[in-house]
Amino acid sequence: MTDRKSIQTTLIHSEYVPPAGFGAFPTAIHHASTVLFKNVAAMRSRNWQDKNAYTYGLHGTPTTFTLEARLAEIEGGTHCLLAPSGLAAIAMVDLGLLKSGDDVLLPDNVYNPNRELGRWLSQDFGISVRFYDPLIGSGIADLIQSNTRLVWTEAPGSVSMEVPDIPAICTAVHERKATGQDIHVALDNTWSAGIAFKAFDHGVDIVMQALTKYQSGGSDVLMGAVITRDRELMHRIEMAHMRVGFGVSGDDTYLVLRGLPTMKLRFDAHDAAARKVASWLKARPEIGRVLHPAFEDCPGHAIWKRDFTGAGGLFSVVFDERYSEEQTDRFVDSLKLFKIGFSWGGAASLCVPYRIQGMRRNWQGSGQLVRFNIGLEDPVDLIADIEQAFESLSRS
């Protein structure tokens, strides 16, 4: 071989290495399927689970390891694993910890795709899935069977916003664990972003986050994470991650990293604005109940006061029962600043009507439920928007 390679080869192989010592705030975005080994011995001795080294793009790059480490810090955990969406993170926990013959408990107000995943596990995978009253507290002890492996919690629950007594549920589960049963509490902690509820301090074993929401803050990326304080537990979840290939892209990871420095400022701004809008709604004759954990109408409000340090931008209201679905749909359609769409945690305010009566086993009342995500707009303008949309309620 001569020193001069063909242009075709030169386009692929280069000797150039940039100087070391570059410093800047952003985390570098690493793209890789193939990860290179120095020699065969290094390749043969590599352990894909070792986060001090690299094996394959799917098992992590400096970019994804950095986000994992930062999320573990924020949540107060020690181990973190990314997934391509919040829902994928939920599935990764289920796949890592459940097998046919096992039992899992889900709150009746669980994030709906988690309920759908539960239905699938029970129909096609021989796993028993049971739903419990989210306000059950220590009563969960009566539902735990010898084959119960996982108790999912969500604080507050999706759409209907009940705040569960997480410490009481954890205590009941850990009493069973102390007898040698393989059982854990997982929490979907998305609403609190790891800021307003310190899950591990309250006894939770596994925290799940939809980074799609506040961590990203941009309404432009889907990602999820699972966090634990237990290496062995994370190992089981990691096996599921490896076996199904739940990789995330470097570019998406960068977007989430870029959102982190401003997350608490955004969260606090969402919180303050949401309480202003919710207070205004509370005083309106059109509204029956305000389902915001910081308001007394919300089931579990006392628990929120005891265990949480903030609230974020998401809450629901139940309209007075005199309004039909047609009228409240017209209200939502009449909003101008509030857009209609799922997901939340971005800068723009959103509003979604839900047919809650068909979604919960013991829902009381017939008023229409509408969920608000209060964005970062001036709340004065948001209130004016709601006020003008209320006029559409009486239009015939």
- Which tokens go with 201? 């301090």
CB of 332: closest distance to ligand PLP in angstroms?
A: 19
Q: Output 141 or 376, the one with its CB closest to ligand PLP.
A: 376
User: Other C-beta atoms within 10 Å of 120: how many?
Assistant: 14
Q: Output 49 or 343, the one with its CB closest to ligand PLP.
A: 343
CB of 320: closest distance to ligand PLP in angstroms?
A: 27
Query: How many helices (H) and strands (E) in the chain?
Result: 12, 11
First to last CA, the chain: 85
Q: Output 82 or 173, the one with its CB closest to ligand PLP.
A: 82
Residues that bind ligand PLP (CB under 6 A): 85-87, 111, 158, 188, 190, 210, 212-213, 222, 224, 343
Q: Output 54 or 349, the one with its CB closest to ligand PLP.
A: 349
Q: Characterise 144 by phi-psi region: left (phi > 0), alpha (psi -120 to 50), beta (else).
A: beta
Could you give the CA distance from residue 62 to residue 127 in angstroms, rounded to a whole number?
Answer: 37
Selection from 94, 194, 199, 110 nearest residue 149 by Cα: 94
CB of 90: closest distance to ligand PLP in angstroms?
A: 6
CB of 136: closest distance to ligand PLP in angstroms?
A: 19
Cis bond upstream, residue 156 (ω within 30): yes
Q: Output 286 or 307, the one with its CB closest to ligand PLP.
A: 307
Rounded to 5°, angle at Cα 264 from 263 and 268? 120
Q: Output 188 or 238, the one with its CB closest to ligand PLP.
A: 188
- Residue with the CB atom nearest ligand PLP in the bound state: 86
- Which tokens go with 323? 């309004």
CB of 314: closest distance to ligand PLP in angstroms?
A: 8
Residues 6+ apart with CB under 8 A from 42: none
CB of 389: closest distance to ligand PLP in angstroms?
A: 24
Could you give the CA distance from residue 275 to residue 128 in angstroms, rounded to a whole number?
Answer: 39
Q: Output 192 or 328, the one with its CB closest to ligand PLP.
A: 192
CB of 312: closest distance to ligand PLP in angstroms?
A: 11
